[in-house]
Amino acid sequence: MAIEVRIPTILRSYTGGAKVVEGSGDSLNELLSDLDSRYSGLRARLVTDQGALHRFVNVYVNDEDVRFLGSLDAKLNDGDTVTILPAVAGGAFGFAAAAAILGHRAATRAR
C-alpha cells in the first residue's frame, strides 16, 4: 500500500533531499514508523517523547488537518497523500504561555 508523503524543506535532510517519498501504514502512526525505518530520525521530529504529534508541524491527509482526524490515529488508505508543513506560529509571548494557548486550542478543537 503506497501513500505519498510530501516532506518540507526543513526535514529533507532526513530523506536525502527528497521532496516526496512513499510509505505505508493503516494509520498515520504506522506510516511514520514505516518512514522512520528508512529515514531514521524523521519520526522524532514529528512525534514527541510523550507520543503526541509535535505542535511545530502541521500534518494533513489529503486536504484535511490530521488534528481533526484523530492525529496519529488518523486512518490512511492506499493512494492518500500526506503533507507535512512546518507550523507557522510565534509572537511576543513567552513560550510556556504560548504552549498553554496552543494546548487549549487543540483541546477545544478536539471537542
Partner 1 sequence: MLSIDRSIIDAIVAHARRDHPDEACGVVAGPVGSDTPTRHIPMTNAARSMTFYEFDSMEQLRVWREMEERDEEPVVIYHSHTATEAYPSRTDISFAGEPGAHYLLISTRDPEVEEIRSFRIVDGVVTEEPVRVVDATVDPNAVQSYMFGQSPTTVDYECSGR
Is 63 a residue that touches partner 1 (CB under 8 A)? yes
Whichever of 54 and 75 has its CB closer to partner 1, that residue is: 54
Dihedral of alpha carbons 29, 31, 32, 38, sign: positive
Among 7, 35, 60, 72, binds partner 1 (CB under 8 A): 60
Is 14 a residue that touches partner 1 (CB under 8 A)? no
Is 48 a residue that touches partner 1 (CB under 8 A)? no
Residues 6+ apart with CB under 8 A from 27: 72, 73, 74, 75, 76
Amino acid at 93: F
Residues 6+ apart with CB under 8 A from 107: none
Give 92's strand partners: none
Among 17, 49, 50, 88, binds partner 1 (CB under 8 A): 88
Residue ranges binding partner 1 (CB under 8 A): 8-10, 56-58, 60, 63, 65, 67, 83, 85-95, 97-98, 101-102, 105
